[in-house]
Amino acid sequence: MERPAVALVLTALVAYGPLSTDLYLPSLPAMTVAFDTGVSSVQLTLSVFMWGFAVAQLIYGPLSDRLGRRPVLLGGLVLYVLASMACVLADSIATLIAARFLQALGACAGPVLGRAIVRDIYGRERAARALSFMASGMALVPAVAPILGGWLHTVFGWRANFAAMAGFGALVLLSVWLILAETNRWRDAGATGPRRILRNFIRLLGHREFVGHSLSVAFSFAALFSVISGLSFVVIDVLGVAERNFGYVFLFVVAGYITGTFTSGRLSRRLPIERLIRAGGLIGVTAGLVMAALAWAGVERIWAVMIPASFVFMAAGLVMPNGMAGAIGPFPTMAGAASSLLGFLQMGLAAVGGYLVGLFHDGTTLPMAVVVLICTVLTFAAHGLLAHRAGADPASGEET
């Protein structure tokens, strides 16, 4: 199973989330005009996607623990393609929001089962390195997607972005069907029983190392998603950048994420994951403080947003792959359930962060910067107070 083609498919699966959010970012301000609605309503198409993603996390993991990764994954990808076409045909903001929720239910199958498959194939320690390099490759999606989305919007309008999502979904669906074999060697017939699911989730939530790593990942992603939610409105509406050029601004920011994940992949052989997470948390807090201070001082310049945002993304590139490996690694026999609960926390908290950015949007950079700062502080605190202490506690031994 450890073939380049398999790694490429797994990277594509993990990319469903960023593609579905980043491709149409340049269209968000124009969509407020197209649907004659406000910023908070259009921003809800992002947040409701995260909420749908969060809910579906709790379903796909246990279902794949029982039925296997492959059939559940194929079903989710079919739903994604159909929902993407519904987005293309949406004639109101309410219809688009509903279609985005269904799109999220399908898209979620990619990353949650992709992470579980990585755990199936590589094991705990090698999974951290695999996830880091997958994240580096996956980072090309948020780097390229807004540029492509900006030009699709300029030439064809905002609906073209959702048509492109449908095409991507169909291509990955075909690739999974042809290339990806079943990897779940510990299928559990009782994994979908309500009592079993509840018991597994309670067990995971009682595992301090799981909770600490999961919250580190979740708050780090919430900081990243808060930037994603607010950046197009800030850059296009506040700073006056054209839609077709927004992707180039976003590319600079995403370069930070690529740097973080590449650095993580290179250092994961020599350094423990806890040290890499701690370093990422410190970088994130520093960047959040700088962004908030500049916004509070009224410095509304493109560099005052781009530079600290790129370091927030770099921090996420260090924290997230290592935090995921640390959270899922101790649970080889229920990796699907662990991946589901991790993803639920990650997407749920990100949705809250993005919603707050839209709710408090006031035509300045301050609301986004404050939400980012809060999330980065909570990332550092979650790891320092929970995961790091658990890892140093001999009583917190791992499941084998």
Contact partners, residue 29, CB within 8 Å, separation at least 6: 232, 233, 236, 237, 243
Whether 331 and 214 have beta carbons less than 8 Å apart is answered as no
pTM over 0.95: no
Q: Is 400 among the domain residues?
A: no
Domain limits for position 235: 4-182+189-392
Q: Element (H or E) spanning 216, and its range? A: helix 208-232
- DSSP E strands: which ranges in the chain? none
CA terminus-to-terminus distance, the chain: 22
Q: Is 23 among the domain residues?
A: yes
Give the model confidence (pLDDT) of 103-151 as tens digits: 999 999 988 888 778 777 776 556 666 766 666 666 678 778 899 999 9
Give the model confidence (pLDDT) of 352-384 as tens digits: 998 899 888 888 899 999 999 999 999 999 988
State whether the Cα torsion 11-354-143-170 is positive or negative.
Answer: positive
Q: Is 398 among the domain residues?
A: no
Residue 135: the pLDDT is: 67
Contact partners, residue 263, CB within 8 Å, separation at least 6: 317, 318
Q: Is 81 among the domain residues?
A: yes
Higher pLDDT, 2 or 183: 183
Give the model confidence (pLDDT) of 277-312 as tens digits: 999 999 999 999 999 999 999 998 999 999 999 999
Q: Is 399 among the domain residues?
A: no
Residue 115: the pLDDT is: 75
Residue 399: the pLDDT is: 41
**Position 388 confidence tier, pLDDT thresholds 50, 70, 90:** low
Residue identified by tokens 């993991």 is 61
pLDDT at 239 over 80: yes
Residue 209 belongs to a domain with what CATH number?
A: 1.20.1250.20
Rounded average pLDDT over 333-348: 81
Q: Is 397 among the domain residues?
A: no
Domains in the chain: how many in total?
Answer: 1
Give the model confidence (pLDDT) of 252-266 as tens digits: 998 898 899 888 878
Rounded average pLDDT over 152-177: 94
DSSP state of 365: S
Q: Is 65 among the domain residues?
A: yes
* Distance, CA of 207 to CA of 334 (rounded, Å): 14
Give the model confidence (pLDDT) of 218-237 as tens digits: 999 999 999 988 898 888 88
Helix (H, G, I), strand (E, B) or coil at 189: coil
Residue 395: the pLDDT is: 38
How many helices and strands (H and E) does the chain possess? 17, 0
Give the burial class of 242: count Cβ atoms within 10 A of its Cβ; 0-12 exposed, 13-18 middle, 19 or more buried: exposed
What percent of the chain has a predicted confidence (pLDDT) above 70? 90
Q: Is 376 among the domain residues?
A: yes
Give the burial class of 195: count Cβ atoms within 10 A of its Cβ; 0-12 exposed, 13-18 middle, 19 or more buried: exposed
Q: What's the whole-number average pLDDT of the chain?
A: 86
Single-letter amino acid code for the residue at 35: F
